Amino acid sequence: MSAGKTDISEIIVNTAAIAKMLNLTETRIRQLIEVGVISRAGEEEDIMKFTIKETKEAIRDYIEQAIDKKVIDKSWLNKFDKSEMTRGDFEVLEIIISQ
Length of the chain, please? 99
Q: Could you tell me the end-to-end alpha-carbon distance of the chain, in angstroms, rounded to an integer? A: 30
Give yes or no for residue 5 having a pLDDT over 80.
no
Q: What does the alpha-carbon distance between residue 50 and residue 52 come to, in Å, rounded to a whole number? A: 6
Instruction: Please give the model's pTM, rounded to 2 decimal places.
Output: 0.56
Count helices and strands (H / E) in the chain: 5, 0
- Farthest-apart Cα atoms in the chain, separation: 41
Q: Residue 8 has what DSSP assignment?
A: G
pLDDT per position as a tens digit, 11-64: 455 677 777 777 778 888 778 777 766 665 554 457 888 888 898 999 999 999
Q: Predicted confidence band at 1 (pLDDT cuts at 50, 70, 90)?
A: very low
Contact of 86 with 36, CB cutoff 8 Å: no
